[in-house]
Amino acid sequence: MDFLPIDWIVIAIYIIFVFYLAIRAGQETRTLTPSASARDRAREQYMANNSLTFTESICSIIATEVSALTFLGIPAFAFNKDFSFIQIYLGAILGRIAIALVFLPKVYGKGLTIYEVMAQETGLPSGRRTVAVLYAISKILSVGVRLFSGSILVAHFIGTNVYLGLAVVTFITFLYTLIGGLKAVVRTDIMQMGLFISGGIIAHYLIPVTSGQSWGELMGIAAAAGKTSFFSVANPWPFIFGFFGGVLFDMSTHGVDQDFAQRLTANHSLRRAQQAIFFSSFISISVGLLFLGVGALLWAHYQSHPFPATVANADHLFSYYIVNHFPAGIRGIMVAGVMAATMSTLDSTINALCATVYNDILPNRDSANLERNSVIDTAVITLLLFGIAVVASANDGLLLLGLKVQSWTGGALLGIFLTKVVFKKWFTYQLTPASVAGAYAFGMAGVYANTYVLQWDWNLNVYWGCALSMLFLKVYAAARPYRGA
């Protein structure tokens, strides 16, 4: 189906407004004189001078976690399976309570990045750099998958292959991320969150309209087939694994991932940051249910309509439906929604990784060249994300792929954080490259055992990774206790 001018106008308005918000945010944030210290200028760029409000923090958290994997991958999950993905969101409530009450009081106001906090008392610069490098690698891998999923609908929209669509989304995000730092990222995230949620609501209205059946009829068909179920009394273990997996998985993402931690530590008060992370869990559940519902509606629709021969797998199905069944103008809104979901994840990742490179990986560069280095860092990180996205294009099941990538290393990073920040009295060791590498090696060995030897549920990956990394660090601390300078 050809796209009409109104679709292109909608996309153009969205892109123009993104740059407008970024420019305005940059103007508001950049208040320092050229003579200000490099540290102050970095805080302005990467922490927005601790000016984030409760609304900005919570909206940016949701926008960052709700990538195109949510927009396209969660409907695909429900289409292929059921609503069982929601159990991860339910477990996240407990994880975010722990972040609010335990993690945030120990890191808020203590440093530019969370990895700086880990190394403040008993860490070598090389140890801190090792943590940051390993985090950056795992982040680039996991977000690269999310970036590819967002290019699927854009490629359908512009009538080209997925790689050109990927390049378009990546380049636009690269440009506006440079303009205003964290404040620009957060301000655009607010608009983008509203846009992709609106897209999900529109889909719930239009799928029944185009299908010729009511919303209730379609959901009834899906429910009768078990597509809306998420708990089975006969076999409760998948729910249990998913729920408890969501607890620790969320602690490893929203708690010790600079991408999410940045949105909390940049808030103007600890209390508001705690409120933002707690209440965000309930919005996440609502968004998850919204897009799982889209998948159920699509499944019910295709029980009485032929499945499109040109669709390779369920990851592409919602994109196909939007392009071929939604009316002009609305198609443009849906494409903008996917772009918003993709760009809000990508811009946050770029900004967080740039902060990590500046503060932890390459802290000794000439401070007078902060702006030039920031441009270089942004370009390099963007290209790396683009490269991983291209590799991810060869895989199906993008939703679980993106989550599983992060589960392999998230447990080890969480284990290091717990031993250096939360339970540091019981782990008296120095953060060195050896201790960090050992923790990651043992953590990933635990995930390997869970995945390929025991073949247990992947939701337990973070538990194995965290437990074995902490076990290694306890032995390391006993063998090489740190007694101070």
Asked whether the beta carbons of 336 and 195 are under 8 A apart, the reply is yes
Q: Is the dihedral of CA 176, 181, 182, 186 positive or negative?
A: negative
What does the pLDDT read at residue 401?
55
In sequence order, what are the residues at sequence separation of 6 or more whose Cβ sits closer than 8 angstroms to the Cβ of residue 388?
Answer: 140, 141, 143, 144, 145, 147
* Domains of the chain (ranges, CATH numbers): 5-396 (1.20.1730.10)
The two structure tokens encoding residue 368:
């007078």
* Segments in the chain below pLDDT 70: 1-3, 29-36, 67-69, 149-153, 155-161, 180, 392-404, 483-485
What does the pLDDT read at residue 215?
96
For residue range 27-69, list pLDDT tens digits in order.
776 665 566 677 777 888 888 888 899 999 999 898 888 766 6
Spatial distance between the Cα atoms of 101 and 193, rounded to a whole number of angstroms? 26
pTM: 0.88
What does the pLDDT read at residue 121?
79
In sequence order, what are the residues at sequence separation of 6 or more whose Cβ sits closer than 8 angstroms to the Cβ of residue 269?
Answer: none
What does the pLDDT read at residue 392?
66
